[in-house]
Structure 1
Amino acid sequence: MGEVRSNKTVVYRCSYHVVWCPKYRRPVLTGAVEDRLKQIIHEVCAERDAPIEAIETMPDHVNLLVVCDPQYGIHRLVKQIKGRSSRLLRQEFPHLKSRLPTLWTNSYFVATTGGATSEVAKRYVENQRNV
């Protein structure tokens, strides 16, 4: 059902399924770009004490199942992931600059997974490559 976590004032169990896409849904998340993106996501989540339950990238979108402190907020976490990954990936892979005015769309999908459906959401994210 998920681990109960806490900070100084809140005890929580908040797991989120987040999906976002490159601008124009371009299939650019492959090879070294994909590997580096996952590394950046892991770094940001570790810094924010936001454990990743599952992550999978497809060429044209990212699926992330992550636990996030409600006082920090999922919006701030996603904003930080998208901002840092866009900046670093465009610096490290110049071909992304020529194909896209920005790496990510402004929007994203987010849903709470709930206790009973957390495992279902995790299997969904992990099985994206098999679809």
Structure 2
Amino acid sequence: MRTFPGAAYDLGYHVVWCPKYRRPVLGGRVQTRLEELIHAEAGEHGGEIVALETMPDLVHLFVKPHPENSPSYVAGQFKGFTSRHLRAEFPHLRSQLPTLWSRSYFVATVGAVSAETVQRSIETQDERAPKGSGRA
């Protein structure tokens, strides 16, 4: 659990994205630099990388971001930052692909409490309310 003034949070996002046309261009020095850039971007925005797996044609990232950052913002920041730097540092990526990343991505929230637990907590709220709390 992390905190900042006025809030405590434990958010996690599983983000997956791939190069345009699913081309296997993320090997060798590109892969090493991509991982460095992802860690740098997370640190810049107060996020924590829990797990990272890069393959020649796919990136899997489990990140715990600041709660002000939406899932779409987090995905966009990682994709934009890494694309800008990788295309500048590795000219062959500019010549092989019109853009480095596909426009699509997958993101799912990951938390310490399962969806079933949250649903059960909401559904049984009346049963747990203190007597005389005014709840019907």
Alignment TM-score, normalising by the size of structure 2? 0.79
Residue matched to 2:50:
53
For 2:113 and 2:8, how far apart are their aligned partners in 1? 19
- Select which of 88, 93, 107 maps to 2:90: 93
Aligned to 2:27: 30
Gapped runs of 5+ residues in structure 1?
Answer: 118-131
Separation in structure 1 between the aligned mates of residue 3 and residue 52 of structure 2, nearest angstrom: 23
- CA–CA distance in structure 1, aligned partners of residues 58 and 88 of structure 2: 20
CA distance in 2 between counterparts of 1:46 and 1:24 reads 29
**Structure 2 unmatched ranges of 5 or more:** 115-136
Aligned residue identity for 1:63: H
Please identify, of 33-42 and 108-117, the stretch whose mean Cα deviation from structure 2 is larger. 108-117
Report the counterpart of residue 128 of structure 1 in structure 2: none
**Matched residues in 1 for 2:109 and 2:81: separation?**
24
Identity across aligned pairs (percent)?
52
| Residue of 72, 83, 95 corresponding to 2:80 | 83
**Count of residue pairs the alignment pairs up:** 114
What displacement does 1:47 show?
Answer: 0.8
The answer for the alignment partner of 1:5 in structure 2 is 2
CA distance in 2, matches of 1:81, 1:113: 18
Distance (Å, rounded) in 2 between the aligned partners of 1:81 and 1:111: 15
TM-score (norm 1): 0.82
CA shift at 1:56, angstroms?
A: 0.7
Q: Work out which of the residue numbers 10, 13, 19 in structure 2 matches 1:16.
A: 13
Per the TM alignment, residue 114 of structure 1 is displaced from its structure 2 partner at its CA by: 2.5
Q: 2:110 maps to which residue?
A: 113
- Using the TM superposition, give the Cα deviation of residue 94 of structure 1 relative to its aligned residue in structure 2, in angstroms: 0.6
Alignment partner, residue 121 of structure 1: none
Query: Who wins on radius of gyration, i.e. which is larger?
Result: 2
> In the aligned structure 1, how far is the partner of 2:37 from the partner of 2:48?
14
In structure 1, C-alpha distance between the alignment counterparts of 2:6 and 2:40, rounded to whole Å: 25
Moved over 3 A (4+): none
